């Protein structure tokens, strides 16, 4: 298939290769607009609202600001946007939100096209603190805290991570002890490592904290619960028993006031426990509708999955911004001359430069469609209110895999964009280094990527039937051993279109979508099956830790293969839903590039497992190179389609 | 081979896997000391001097400082170290240096274990500005500028790059025009893009600049030459005709005052032209011993190759520091419990964590040995004073390849180290984020990595017989077409030991060194041969640009394969020179890990080209995994061997 004429303008906008793109204009081209609409998908209206109503002055930060300035700016802008009804869609309608989780993810993504410090400040205030009260609290909690949380008056912390335990939440040391004689709880940090750490809003702005700790009732540990504790007065003075520390300068996100919180036997009213899933009643007795402590814990955590989805989406937005800057620069910057001292050559006309940017633009589309689907899935699971635990676990699995893949890609790709702009890319005035510094920690917070990928692999082995947390490595290995039959390859919502494609074509052409699907599916299936076999053997080993430990890299590979397949299916579905044939033809090429670049990246695996031979592998690389040449003339339109307003780019080199 | 007992202590220091390393102590273990000595090689005395005489207070920067503070600190510390005879070994003995280029590289590497802003400040002042005067000037220039350059009183810039041209130095726009009637030169920036840009010392501290420009004599362009121009008075006031700009905030290196310089018909005395390779004499006529303008230009640039070697070495030092922090942290930090709620597990006992750190530690050793060899080669070429142009071109080729590989590895690996420390890694107090920010631009300055790798590939195609700059892509393609016979695989100085190994063993075991050598050599040879064939065909193509452009990725692959082979040979030679059998046994394992991890990374290529099949590929991965288990107990000693003093680590998490 070749690119068809532009259905909307009637003109063939396919430009020859060696030609500068149009200068950055206030409005994108018609093709760019149409690509934007397709990629925005169900969130087009929300995202367009940002593009038309929000200016750089509302949410783009000066990279030179010091910590105090950046922190005050972030709180101020958050309050300003919330006052305009932006980035608060996830709150209940009763308190002024829209009760829409999917929309709240879209808002987060748009915020991340401005500034990541502000994004994370909002994520802490509205997403994590507000989300904990919303999802773990009862109507009284909502009425008491949410209106001021939305406005930014009731600043709050999500106090989960401790110095000693980040990834291993079940081992938190903070205690929430029921004191029956007084009818209240006592919150305490029993050791130095029990201090809450890396907590946003803790260093300067927070008045409240949702504190995670072991709930002890009558000497029995009921597992981790969450309680609202005041940590500063309304005028931000200290309160007795609570010590807040400032963790100061970081590698980025200087607008977020991360700090420590330590509790010295702080008394808290009974009603402050967020007791949707369990707590001590007026009768002084612990009640929970979920009997298993493990199930209770993971159900609670499960309601907080949105944070992970937002982090992946925010990282992707920052990457889109970096790709927009680097690609637009490559369309105006020349270096070296054509043979025979001809005219100077545009950077984007070099194969090496195309290799840096175009496959990543394709990946940005792929991840964008997958992120849309993930947000919709979040909405469905939220609306099901626990009635579909398999869907909930599937959502958690995808959220974990997507978060890990998107944040890894973000870190790598923003760096590529920086280098693609040469020395100019290193100047803060060109916007990329700030993105890189801020996005860095996205690989760690809301779950270390390596740990998340292992969670995905566990879920794949257990077929979503078990709660993740039910088992450690030995438990997983044993449970795997009980698996009956082959492994599991559930279809995404793209089920019907995938089946239609597979039924319609048996082509093994490298550009055949059916072949791409087959390659992605096959890789996932084989890796997961192999892992299951190894885990079964490991369960019987003398040293279970050593045996399961040796499977860790295999687990990462399984998780990546699974998530890659989910992403491809979402891309295919996104194209299927596009009604403009010209845009469909472009997106198909972009999907080819995503699929083939991913297959190329994994060609070692395919050849190791005799899925294809060396000549096929070379053909894949040639097909990628051919797609670069074909898509090069559409580079400007493609980055316009990524949806970052020109006015937000804030890069002096594009002026 | 298994690790033998420690020859020095008599004890078997091989500890079982799941055991914390010794706490960070002031002195390394005996094994660590011995590894340090081996890796330092010929530079052990120089490097030990830094370790015993230089403290963190001398050269470790506070990451929180703002730009003015960081800049003043850098100049102050540079002056202090120079006063102690540190980091000035490259200057002529007559002016107080040691006339030793190799040693000056070693100094640079040690400086980079403290702070990269200070390192680059020194690189600008002593390496680039001082190096230009030393290598391009005559004895009068030396006597006039070098003593004050060494002390830091005569602050200078290396004004090569312009806004419009960075990589393409021959297209610089600045003019140096001979005015016969006045017997002096006029330096001028004819267009806005002719402004010098990204120039260290330009924004605040520089009094002088070595300005690169087109030398015009009697209307004839003699090509790029360098002239000394005053840019500020001794009290740092402006001088007429010279405008200096401040490029302000950057992604890192805040202690380096990068700026722009623009010249408005500035008159400069005739004697200020650095005329070692050409200039206008007292007779008012242009003289040069090198007739070809191209050859003259590349001879001049060639004398400045040290900067590129230093940048690679400095990036490697920063990476060693990051690996030291992350590995020591992984030896004290636990997370999650052993199966059945046993004790908590050390991070470094996880396979995924070992995969992050240990192969990179192995790479640090490999690059360290190769860097030593490169510095010695620089010394030999400098001493030859132009009498061995093939050796000079070989040096430039290796310097380009090493710079590109080491700085890419540095950026990737410092990020891995940051993530391996989790949220703590993101706090500036733990030292890693500053390294990451500062090292970023090493991928760009002293030559964009993508451009450098293409230079390497060109040199390989032309067999070092031609000057690089003699030809553009078409010229290269045509010259390649004239190549007679097969391609070229010169041996490094490791020639004799490599031949001994190849003669002694025909083993195809994955752990056999002979097999590693064969795999590295074969990959280089095949890729370069294939490239030569494609370039020959491209020379005859209708669209030569399109045809050679399509070979660019292939050129990068050739350059990497070549440099990998050079590195492996240097590692093998380094081991061969080690006299302690215990240390030799450890280094052999480390070399196995480097070699196998590199083969594993390129397994797609090997299978594509039927160098080995899938089962062999899996065996390589298994061998890497086995080496991780084997080397894990030596992790502390291995990072000690990387030679970064504990006192310089400046990481709160290790306290």
| 3-state SS, one letter per residue, for B276-308 | CCCEECCCCCEECCCCCHHHHHHHHHHCCCHHH
Main-chain dihedrals φ then ψ at residue B162, nearest 5 degrees: -120, 165
Coil/strand/helix, residue B80 = helix
d(CA A347, CA A330): 5
**Residue partners of B500: CB distance under 8 A and separation at least 6:** none
Contact A168 B336 (CB under 8 A): yes
Higher pLDDT among residues B78 and B167, named by residue: B78
Q: Which residue does chain A place closest to B428, by CA atoms?
A: A250
Partner-chain contact B426 A418, CB within 8 Å = no
Interface with chain A: mutation pick from B604, B616, B626, B627, highest number of A CBs within 10 Å: B604
Rounded to whole angstroms, the Cα distance separating B460 from B478 reads: 14
Residue pointed to by tokens 């401005």: A114
B16 close to A (CB below 8 A): no
Counting Cα atoms < 13 Å in the Cβ hemisphere of B613 gives 2
Contact call for residues B129 and B153 (beta carbons, < 8 A): no
Q: Are A423 and B445 in contact (CB under 8 A)?
A: yes
* Alpha-carbon span B27 to B41, nearest angstrom: 20
Structure token pair of residue A140: 């009284």
How many CB pairs lie under 8 A apart between chains A and B? 214
Chain A CB contacts of B454 under 8 Å are 352
Q: What is the largest CA-CA distance in chain B?
A: 91
Q: Does A64 touch chain B (CB under 8 A)?
A: yes
pLDDT at position A465, please? 56
Neighbours of B529 (CB within 10 A): 15
Q: Which two tokens stand for residue A447?
A: 């779950």
Tell me: the pLDDT tens digits for B123-166? 999 999 999 999 999 999 999 999 999 999 999 999 999 999 98
> Reduced to 3 states, what is the DSSP secondary structure of residue B561?
helix
Q: How far is B43 from chain A (nearest CA, A)?
A: 32
Chain A, window 188-227: residues with a beta carbon less than 8 angstroms from a chain B beta carbon: 197-198
Share of chain B above pLDDT 90, in %: 84
Pull the structure tokens for residue B108: 């640079």
CB-CB under 8 Å, A419 with B544: no
Cα gap A271→A274, rounded to integer Å: 8
Q: B212 vs chain A: nearest CA distance in angstroms?
A: 18
Distance from CA of B427 to the nearest CA of A (A): 4
Closest CA to B374 of B463, B296, B431, B307: B307
Contacts of B508 (CB under 8 A, 6+ apart): B515
User: Residue A336 and residue B168: Cβ atoms within 8 Å?
Assistant: yes
User: B611, B519 in Cβ contact below 8 A?
Assistant: yes
Q: For strand B279-280 and strand B286-287, is the pairing parallel, antiparallel, or unpaired?
A: antiparallel
Positive or negative, the Cα torsion across B565, B570, B571, B577? positive
Structure tokens at B283: 């007779």
Quick one: which of B91, B455, B149 has its CA closest to B306?
A: B91
Q: B372 exposed, middle or buried (CB, 10 Å; 0-12, 13-18, 19+)?
A: buried
- Chain A contact set for B604 (CB, 8 A): 603-604, 607, 617
Which sign, positive or negative, has the C-alpha torsion A81, A84, A87, A90? positive
pLDDT, position B389: 85
Q: In A, which residues are within 8 Å of B336 by CB distance?
A: 167-168, 171, 472
Does B622 reach chain A within 8 Å, measured CB to CB? Answer: no
| Contact yes or no for A440 and B436 at CB 8 A | yes
Write b or e for each residue in A408-436: b if 16 or more Cβ atoms lie within 10 A of its Cβ, otherwise e.
Answer: bbbbebbbbbbbbbbbbbbbbbbbbbbbb
The per-residue pLDDT for range B586-619, each reduced to its tens digit, is 999 999 999 999 999 999 999 999 999 999 999 9
**3-class DSSP assignment, residue B196:** strand
**Residue that the structure tokens 């490595």 belong to:** A473
List chain A residues with CB under 8 Å of B556: 352
Q: How far is B380 from chain A (nearest CA, A)?
A: 32
Largest alpha-carbon pair distance within chain A?
91
Q: Which of B19, B339, B343 to probe by mutation at the A interface, max A CB count within 10 Å? A: B339
Q: A423, B198: Cβ pair inside 8 Å? A: yes
Burial of A402 (0-12, 13-18, 19+ CB in 10 A): buried
A246: three-class secondary structure by DSSP? strand
Q: Is A191 within 8 Å of A140 (Cβ atoms)?
A: no
Length of chain B in terms of residues written: 655
Residue bearing tokens 């020194």? B122
**Cβ contacts (< 8 Å) between A548 and chain B: which residues?**
339
> What does the pLDDT read at residue A466?
58
Quick one: closest CA in A to B612, which residue?
A608
The model's pLDDT over B288-331, given as tens digits with 9 standing for 90+, comes to 999 999 889 989 998 899 999 999 999 999 999 999 999 999 99
For residues B382 and A37, give the distance between their C-alpha atoms in angstroms, rounded to a whole number: 61
Cβ-count burial of A568 within 10 angstroms (0-12 exposed, 13-18 middle, 19+ buried)? buried
Q: Do A250 and B427 touch (CB under 8 A)?
A: yes
The C-alpha of B287 sits at a distance from chain A's nearest C-alpha, in angstroms, of 26
Average pLDDT over all residues of chain B = 92
CB of B535 within 8 A of CB of B548? Answer: yes
Say what the alpha-carbon torsion angle A540, A543, A549, A550 is, to the nearest 10 degrees.
-80
Q: Is B138 on the interface with A (CB under 8 A)?
A: no
* pLDDT value of position B15: 35
Catalytic one among A109, A373, A446, A521?
A446
pLDDT of A194 reads: 98
pLDDT of residue B483: 52
* B542 and A CB contact within 8 Å: no
* Of B390, B361, B359, residue with least CA distance to B377: B390
Condensed to tens digits (0 to 9), the pLDDT of residues B81-125 reads 999 999 999 999 999 999 999 999 999 999 999 999 999 999 999
Q: Is A349 near chain B, with CB under 8 Å?
A: yes
Residues B274 and B213: their CA atoms lie apart, in Å, by: 12
Give the pLDDT confidence score for residue B465 in this predicted structure: 56
> What does the pLDDT read at residue B507?
86
Is A339 close to B474, i.e. CB distance below 8 A? Answer: yes
Signed CA dihedral, A379, A380, A386, A388: sign only: negative
Do A248 and B345 lie within an 8 Å CB cutoff? no
d(CA A576, CA A569): 10
Contact B210, B236 (CB under 8 A): no
Question: Nearest chain A Cα to B427, which residue?
Answer: A250
d(CA B526, CA A617): 17
pLDDT of the residue at A6: 42
DSSP B464: T
How many angstroms separate the CA of residue A623 from the nearest CA in chain B?
Answer: 12
Answer with the residue of higher pLDDT: B6 or B383: B383
Residue B474 to residue A449, Cβ atoms within 8 A: no
**Contact residues, A window 142-161, toward B, CB-based 8 Å cutoff:** 161
DSSP state of A283: T
Residue A66's nearest CA partner among A77, A74, A58, A57 is A74
Chain A nearest-CA residue for B621: A553
Backbone dihedral angles phi then psi of residue B268, each to the nearest 5 degrees: -135, 140
Residues with pLDDT less than 50, chain A: 1-25, 468, 484-487
**CA–CA separation, A351 vs B288, rounded Å?**
39
* 8 Å CB contact between B271 and B167: no
Tokens of B41: 């090689």
Interface touch B549/A350, C-beta < 8 Å: yes
Residue A540 has what DSSP assignment?
A: T
DSSP code string of A357-375: HHHHHHHHHHHHHHHHHHH
Name the H helices within A385-441: 389-420, 422-426, 432-439
Find the range with the poorest average confidence among A597-611, A626-640, B412-426, B532-546.
B532-546
* Catalytic residue check, B446: yes
Option in A166, A473, A550 nearest B423 (CB): A166
Cα B325 to Cα B644: distance, rounded to the nearest angstrom: 10
User: Per the CB < 8 Å rule, is B340 touching A474?
Assistant: yes
**CB atoms < 10 A from the CB of B173, how many?**
18
Residue B414 CB contacts under 8 Å (≥ 6 apart), including other chains: B318, B319, B322, B432, B435, B436, B439
DSSP-assigned letter for residue A232: B
Is the Cβ pair A426, B251 closer than 8 Å? yes
Residue of B nearest to A427 (CA): B250
**Both tokens assigned to B393:** 């071109």
Query: Given phi > 0 = left and psi -120 to 50 = alpha, else beta, which region is A200?
Result: beta
Sign of CA dihedral A591, A592, A597, A598: positive
Handedness of CA B284, B287, B292, B296 (dihedral sign): negative
Give the one of B433, B473, B617 whose C-beta lies nearest to A339's C-beta. Answer: B473
Q: Is the distance from CB of A167 to CB of B335 less than 8 angstroms?
A: yes
Say whether pLDDT at B51 is over 70.
yes
* Separation of alpha carbons A68 and A468, rounded Å: 41
């Amino acid at each position: 298939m070749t690119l068809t004429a532009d259905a909307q303008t009637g003109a063939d906008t396919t430009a020859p290769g060696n030609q500068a793109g149009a200068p950055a204009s206030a409005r994108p081209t018609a093709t760019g607009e149409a690509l934007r609409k397709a990629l925005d998908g169900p969130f087009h209206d929300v995202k367009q609202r940002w593009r038309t109503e929000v200016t750089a002055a509302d949410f783009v930060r000066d990279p030179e600001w010091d910590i105090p300035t950046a922190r005050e700016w972030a709180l101020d802008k958050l309050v300003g946007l919330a006052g305009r009804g932006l980035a608060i869609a996830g709150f209940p309608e009763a308190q002024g939100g829209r009760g829409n989780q999917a929309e709240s993810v879209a808002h987060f993504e748009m915020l991340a096209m401005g500034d990541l410090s502000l994004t994370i400040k909002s994520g802490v205030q509205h997403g994590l603190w507000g989300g904990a009260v919303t999802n773990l609290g009862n109507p009284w909690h909502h009425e008491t805290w949410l209106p001021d949380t939305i406005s930014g008056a009731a600043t709050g912390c999500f106090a989960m991570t401790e110095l000693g335990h980040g990834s291993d939440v079940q081992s938190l040391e903070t205690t929430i002890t029921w004191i029956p004689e007084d009818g209240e709880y006592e919150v305490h940090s029993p050791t130095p490592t029990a201090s809450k750490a890396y907590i946003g809003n803790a260093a300067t702005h927070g008045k409240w904290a949702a504190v995670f700790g072991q709930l002890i009732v009558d000497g029995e540990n009921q597992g981790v619960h969450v309680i609202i504790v005041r940590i500063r007065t309304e005028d931000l003075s200290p309160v007795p028993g609570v010590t807040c520390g400032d963790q100061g300068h970081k590698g980025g996100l200087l607008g977020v006031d991360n700090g420590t919180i330590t509790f010295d036997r702080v008394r808290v009213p009974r009603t402050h426990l967020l007791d949707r899933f369990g707590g001590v009643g007026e009768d002084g007795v612990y009640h929970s509708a979920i009997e298993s402590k493990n199930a209770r814990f993971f159900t609670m955590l499960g309601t907080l999955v949105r944070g992970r989805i937002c982090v992946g989406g925010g990282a992707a937005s920052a990457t889109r911004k970096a790709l927009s800057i680097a690609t637009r620069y490559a369309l105006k910057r020349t270096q070296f001359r054509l043979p025979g001292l001809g005219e100077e050559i545009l950077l984007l006309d070099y194969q090496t430069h195309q290799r840096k940017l175009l496959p990543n633009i394709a990946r940005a589309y792929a991840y964008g469609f997958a992120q849309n689907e993930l947000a919709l899935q979040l909405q469905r699971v939220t609306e099901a209110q626990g009635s579909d635990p398999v869907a909930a676990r599937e959502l958690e699995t995808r959220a974990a895999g997507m978060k890990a893949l998107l944040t890894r890609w973000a870190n790598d790709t923003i760096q590529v964009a920086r280098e693609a702009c040469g020395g100019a890319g290193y100047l803060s005035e060109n916007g990329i280094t700030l993105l890189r510094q801020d996005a860095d920690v996205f690989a760690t917070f809301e779950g270390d990527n390596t740990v998340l990928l292992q969670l995905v692999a566990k879920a794949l082995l257990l077929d979503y039937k078990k709660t993740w947390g039910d088992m450690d490595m030995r438990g997983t290995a044993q449970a795997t051993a009980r698996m009956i039959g082959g492994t599991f390859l559930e279809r995404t919502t793209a089920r019907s279109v995938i089946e239609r494609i597979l039924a319609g074509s048996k082509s093994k052409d490298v550009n055949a979508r059916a072949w791409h699907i087959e390659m992605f599916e096959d890789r996932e299936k084989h890796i997961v099956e192999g892992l299951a076999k190894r885990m079964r053997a490991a369960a019987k080993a003398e040293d279970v830790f050593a045996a399961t430990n040796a499977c860790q890299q295999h687990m990462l590979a399984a998780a990546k293969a699974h998530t890659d397949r989910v992403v491809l299916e979402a891309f295919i579905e996104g194209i299927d839903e596009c009604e403009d044939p010209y845009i469909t033809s472009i997106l198909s090429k972009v999907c080819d590039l995503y699929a083939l670049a991913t297959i190329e990246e994994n060609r070692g695996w395919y050849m190791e497992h005799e899925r294809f031979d060396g000549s096929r592998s070379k053909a894949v690389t040639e097909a990628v190179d051919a797609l670069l040449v074909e898509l090069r003339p559409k580079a400007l339109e493609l980055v316009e389609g990524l949806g970052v307003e020109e006015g937000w780019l804030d890069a002096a080199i594009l002026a």
